[in-house]
Structure 1
C-alpha cells in the first residue's frame, strides 16, 4: 500500500472515531439536559461576546451624570471627539435620571455666582425655560424643577457646545462598560468593551421595570426577552505608540471603572486619625456608606384619590417618620420642601417653624426624605456597593464577569422602601420617630407614573437611585501625603477641635498631631487676624492647594447607615457618632492630585469618586462640585492631548513650580472655570464669627 493510501485510510479511521466521540458527547449532553443536570448556559455561556463595533474617541467618558456631562461640555468646546456612555438614557445624573432635581448650593457661592461656566449656563437655561429660577417654589433650594426637563435642557446644552467648539459628541445611552483592556505594562487603558441595550419590543423595558429587575440583564452580553445587545469596543481615535492618544474619564456613580481596573480605593468609613478626628471608628468600615434614595414625584389633586397599599408596606412601616424634630411634622412642610413645579405662586402661610408658599392642586413634589425613602444599609449582609473582597468572592473581577458591582437585593429593597414611603405620606398614621397620633392622612395626591411623568418611568421611581457615596480612589503618594493623597476633614471643616469632645475622646498623641497638622496648614498663608499658629483654635480657611483645579462649597452633610440589618428593622438606629463631623465647611478647592489614580496613567477620575475621606466626601458630593470637577476633567484631557503629557506629570514635582500646571490652571480660569475663591470668601468664617 502506498504512503498516500495509508495516510488516507488513517485519516478516515480518525474521522470516524471523532464523529463517534462527538455523537457520544452530544448524547451525553442531551441526556443531561433532559435530566436537568446542566443548562444551555453551561454549554453556551451567557457572557459569550458577539461581534464588536469599533468606536474611536479622544476621550471616553463613562457616566453621564453632572460630572460626566461637564467633562463632555468642556471637551466639545475644545473641539475633541467625545464618547459619552450612560446606563440610563438621560444625561444629568442628579438632576435627571436620579430624580434629585433641586440644586444643593452654598449660599456664598450662589450669591456670587462663583460656579463653572457650564453650570451657570445650565442654571440660566432652567430659569429661561420656566421664566423663573425656582419653578417649584421649594424651600430647600433656589432652583427646583422637573427631572425630565433637566435632561432635555442639558442635552441641548451639550449639542450647542458641540456646534460652538467644532467637537464631535458620540452619545451612547443605555450603555455600560463590561471590560477594560490594558497595555502590556498595565499602565494604560487601551480599549473598553461596552454593552448597549435596547428594548426588544414596544413594551419599552428601559422604563417599565425598576433597575433591580434589569441590572443583571443590562450587564450581560447576550440578547434576552427584554433587550437586544450591541457590543462596542471604544478605543483611541489615533492608534499609535503615544501614551497620550486618548483618555478615559471615570464619572460613574459608584466608581465602576475604579473597581474594574482594580486600583487602590477606599469605601465606607475611614479610620480615626489626625486627618479625620471625627471618624466614628478606629478601623475601616467598608459597609457603612451614606444612604441611597429612589426619588419619586407626587401631585396635589383637587379631590381625594384611592390609595393602594403595597403588599410589602408593613415590612417597612417601622422606618417611616417625619423626623426627630416635632416642628417638622407637617405634611405641607415635607411636600413643599422639594416641590419641583407649581402652576401658581401661593400665598405665604405659616407651616411649623417656616413660612411656605401654600400648595394647591397641580403642584408637583419630588420626595427625597431621610426617614422616608433613604435606604441606609450598613452591614456586610446588605451593603449596596460591593467591596473588593466581595467582588472577588462573586467573581465579578474575572474577565468578562462584571455585573455593575451592586447588590441587586438591596436595590430592590430601596425601591420598595420608596414606593412604601409614598403610601405612608398620603395614608400612613404612624411615625417611627415621634410615635402615634402625629401623622394624619392626606389622600388628595397621586403618584406620577408613565413615560411622560417627571421621572420618565412606568413605575414612578427615578431611573437610577440618587447615590451619595461610592468608591473613592487613593491618590498617588505626594510630598504632603506619603501614603497616598486625599482631601480630609481638617482640610475643610470649621469645627473647633479644642472643645471637650476632642480633648477627651482622642488619644493624646493623636490630639497633638491634629494640632500640629492644623498649625502647619494655617501657617501656609497669612491669616486675616495675623495670629501666631499656636493661638489658632480652628481652621480659618480651607486648605489652599497649589494644584487646585476647581471650587466647591457645601456643609458636611450625612445620611448615616443603620446599625442593624435590614435597615428597616423595628427599633433600628443610625450608626453612632457618624454625625459628629456633621456641620459647616469652608469654601473649598478641588486639587488635581485627588483626580489622579494610582497605577493607570490615562485614567482621570471625576465626580464623587475622587480622593477624599468619607467625611470630606459628605461635602464634596453636590451639584456644583460635580460640575466643577467634571469641567476640570474634560479640560485636563484636552490639555494633555494637546501637550502630549500625562496628568500625573503636572504635579509630580510639587511643591516645586510646575510650569504645565500653571498653564493648565490659567486655561481653566480663562474659560470661566474658577480654581479659587475670592480672598474675602475664603476667610468668611473669621469675618462672620
Structure 2
C-alpha cells in the first residue's frame, strides 16, 4: 500500500488509545476517511500481517517496525501479551535470563516491568532499591507480576511505532478465512465478534503468532498435531504409536487474594459433586482425586503432597502453592497498600484433561473452555471450604477471586493457557536427540552429549526442561532434563509455503520438544527472529527460505541479527 495511506490509517486509528478495535476507524460522514481511498471496503494493507498479539507476535512487530516495515497485528482478545497477560502465566525462564540466553529486547521487557512498579507503586525502600525486583516473589519466576503490567509495558514498547504510523494493532479480531494462491498467502479475513465487523488484510508476508496455530489450516499449510510415534521420530520418550489428537492439558488461570477473618465463600458450583470426586484416568495412574493437595510428581510420577497456606506461614518441607506463582508480595509495598498477597493459580489441579482444543469446532472449543472454568470454580470453592489447614481445620473462607487482576468479570483468564498448538511441517524438525539430555548422550556420546546440538542456522537461544503436562488421551506427566538449546532457522520455515512464518508454539518441534520450546523467552526469540528474517528477505529480494539455503546470506543474516541483540550461541 502507499505509505501515506498506512500513516493516515494509523493516525486515525491510534488517535485516542494505543490498542484499538476497528470501530476507532470513524466514518467522517462523507463515505470515507480522509486520505484513505475506499476505506469503507474494509481492506487494509501492510508489509507484514501478524495474526496473534502474544509474546511472539509482539516481538515480531518490534523487530519489523524498528527496521522500517509497516505492520498490522491482530489479537483475538483485548489484551496483547499472550501467555504473560491474557493467559495469566508469569514468565517461566531459565537461570541465566538476567544476563544472557534471550534477545536483548526480552531483557528490556523484563527491566521495564520492574521499572513500571518502581515508577508507579508505593514500594518499600528495600524493594525499590533491589536491582532485580520480583514484585510477587513467586518461586516459579524471578519476575512474577500482574498481567496488566505486561500489557502496559508491551504497549509502551510498541507505542513509538503506533505513533509514527509503522504499526496498527487490531484487538478483538480473530482470523476466519485466508486467500491463498498456490504456495503464497494473498490475504486473510479477520472478524470482530463484538462489533460484527470483518476486515480483509493484505500483505506480501504473513505471520501466524496465534496461540493454536489457527492460520495453518486456513491456508492449507502442512502441519502436525499431538503425539508422534517412536517409529516416526526415534525419540527416547516418544509414544509407541502416533496419536494426532493427543495434546497436553490446557489451563484457565485465575487470580485470588486472601482477606483474613472474612467470609467470602461463593455459592456451591452446580457441578461440584462431579469435580470434587473426579480422578483423572491416566497412565501411569494419578495420585487420586484431582481436587486435593496431592498430585503426581512430574519426574517420578509417584504421589507427592503440596502445601497451601495463604497467610504466608511455613508449610514445612512441602511447597506452599500460595507462594508458587504469587504476583504481589504485600511486603514489597508500603504497609496498608494491600490487604494480603495476590497469587496466580496455575496449578496441577486445574489441568483440563477431558477435551482437546486443537482442530475442533468453535463450539467444541468454547464447550471445553467453559467446562475448565467450571472446574476452576469448583476448585476455588474446595479451597474455601474443604482444603486442609495446618491447624487441623478445613477451608479458607477469606479467599477472594480477583477478576480485576485478570480483566474479566468471572475472575478467569481471558484466554486458556495453551501448552501445545498445531506445528508446521518444517524444513528442519527439532527432535529430542538435539536437546534432551539423556537422548543427546545416546546419539552424541557421553562428552558431546553434555551440550545440545549445534545448529549451523541458529537464530536464537532458549532453555527450559522438557515439561509435558498430562494429556487429554490419558498420558501422565512426561518431564525430564534438557540442555540449553538454539533456535534453528529451519524450524521456522514451512516446507512449502513461501510467505507464511510461525511465531508461537507452532514451529517445527515434536510433541516432545515442544515441551521445552513453548515458554515465554523462547517464544519471544522466535518472534524476533521471524520479524528480522522478513525484513532481511525483503531487503535482499529473496524468499525467506533462500536465507537458509545460501551460505553467504545465512552468515550475513546471523551477523546482522547479532548486532541487534539476538544471541545465536551459548557461551562456553
The TM-score bracket by the shorter chain reads: 0.7 to 0.9
Per-residue deviation, 1:593:
0.8
**What is aligned with 1:555?**
465
Specify whether residues 459 and 649 from structure 1 end up closer, same or farther in structure 2 by C-alpha distance, changes over 3 A only: same
Per-residue deviation, 1:53:
0.6
Question: 1:53 is matched with which residue: 42, 48, 66?
Answer: 42
Deviations 1:560-589 (CA, angstroms, capped at 9, x unpaired): 2155xxxxxxxxxx525x52xx22211101
Per-residue deviation, 1:605:
1.2
**What is aligned with 1:231?**
198
2:517 is paired with a residue whose SS is: coil
Question: 2:454 is matched with which residue: 524, 538, 544?
Answer: 544
**What is aligned with 1:606?**
503
Specify whether residues 426 and 278 from structure 1 end up closer, same or farther in structure 2 by C-alpha distance, changes over 3 A only: farther
**What is aligned with 1:134?**
134
**What is aligned with 1:374?**
351
Structure with bigger gyration radius? 1
**What is aligned with 2:407?**
456
Deviations 1:96-121 (CA, angstroms, capped at 9, x unpaired): 11111x111111x3253332122111
1:110 is paired with a residue whose SS is: coil
Deviations 1:595-630 (CA, angstroms, capped at 9, x unpaired): 111221000112100000111100001110011000
Question: 1:674 is matched with which residue: 527, 544, 567?
Answer: 567
Per-residue deviation, 1:275:
4.3
Question: 2:339 is matched with which residue: 361, 367, 373?
Answer: 361
2:405 is paired with a residue whose SS is: coil
Per-residue deviation, 1:632:
0.4
Q: Structure 1 residue 90 and structure 2 residue 79: aligned? A: yes
**What is aligned with 2:554?**
661
Question: 2:187 is matched with which residue: 191, 198, 204?
Answer: 191
**What is aligned with 1:408?**
366
Per-residue deviation, 1:277:
3.0
Question: 1:629 is matched with which residue: 523, 526, 550?
Answer: 526
1:79, 1:162 within 8 Å by CA — same for their partners in 2?
Answer: no
Matches within 5 A, 1:217-296: 228-236=195-203, 246-273=204-231, 275-296=233-254
1:80, 1:167 within 8 Å by CA — same for their partners in 2?
Answer: no
Matches within 5 A, 1:451-490: 453-476=404-427, 485-490=428-433
Per-residue deviation, 1:282:
2.1
Q: Distance in 2 between matches of 1:126 and 1:598?
A: 38
Per-residue deviation, 1:330:
3.0
Superposition CA RMSD, Å: 2.5
**What is aligned with 1:505?**
none
**What is aligned with 2:356?**
383
Q: Distance in 2 between matches of 1:273 and 1:61?
A: 35
Per-residue deviation, 1:438:
8.5
Question: 2:306 is matched with which residue: 328, 340, 355?
Answer: 328
Q: TM-score, normalised by structure 2?
A: 0.81
Q: Structure 1 residue 152 and structure 2 residue 148: aligned? A: no
2:101, 2:462 within 8 Å by CA — same for their partners in 1?
Answer: no
1:496, 1:538 within 8 Å by CA — same for their partners in 2?
Answer: no
Q: Distance in 1 between matches of 2:401 and 2:546?
A: 52
**What is aligned with 1:421?**
379
Q: Distance in 2 between matches of 1:541 and 1:112?
A: 20
Q: Distance in 2 between matches of 1:548 and 1:135?
A: 34
Deviations 1:369-409 (CA, angstroms, capped at 9, x unpaired): 01x211123xxxx32212xxxx6xxxxxxxxxxx6596332
2:238, 2:512 within 8 Å by CA — same for their partners in 1?
Answer: no
**What is aligned with 2:24?**
none
Per-residue deviation, 1:56:
0.7
Question: 2:105 is matched with which residue: 104, 107, 118?
Answer: 118
Deviations 1:329-380 (CA, angstroms, capped at 9, x unpaired): 333411111111123149xxxxxxxxxxxxx83211110001x211123xxx
Question: 2:169 is matched with which residue: 159, 166, 171?
Answer: 171
Specify whether residues 276 and 427 from structure 1 end up closer, same or farther in structure 2 by C-alpha distance, changes over 3 A only: farther
Specify whether residues 114 and 162 from structure 1 end up closer, same or farther in structure 2 by C-alpha distance, changes over 3 A only: farther
1:492, 1:542 within 8 Å by CA — same for their partners in 2?
Answer: yes
Question: 2:327 is matched with which residue: 340, 347, 350?
Answer: 340
Deviations 1:450-493 (CA, angstroms, capped at 9, x unpaired): xxx110001110100011101111113xxxxxxxx210111101
Per-residue deviation, 1:232:
0.8
Q: Distance in 1 between matches of 2:196 and 2:329?
A: 40
Deviations 1:9-40 (CA, angstroms, capped at 9, x unpaired): xxxxxxxxxxxxxxxxxxxxxxxxxxxxxxxx
Per-residue deviation, 1:429:
4.4
Deviations 1:201-244 (CA, angstroms, capped at 9, x unpaired): xxxxxxxxxxxxxxxxxxxxxxxxxxx312111113xxxxxxxx
**Runs (4+) off by over 6 Å:** none
1:128 is paired with a residue whose SS is: helix
Q: Structure 1 residue 315 and structure 2 residue 284: aligned? A: no
Deviations 1:250-302 (CA, angstroms, capped at 9, x unpaired): 11111111121222211111101484433352221122211111111101113
2:105 is paired with a residue whose SS is: helix
1:549 is paired with a residue whose SS is: strand
Aligned residues: 488
Specify whether residues 361 and 267 from structure 1 end up closer, same or farther in structure 2 by C-alpha distance, changes over 3 A only: same
Q: Distance in 1 between matches of 2:466 and 2:88?
A: 22
> Greater CA deviation, 440-449 or 626-635?
440-449
Per-residue deviation, 1:555:
0.6
Deviations 1:525-573 (CA, angstroms, capped at 9, x unpaired): xxxxxxxx5xx3772211111111111011111212155xxxxxxxxxx
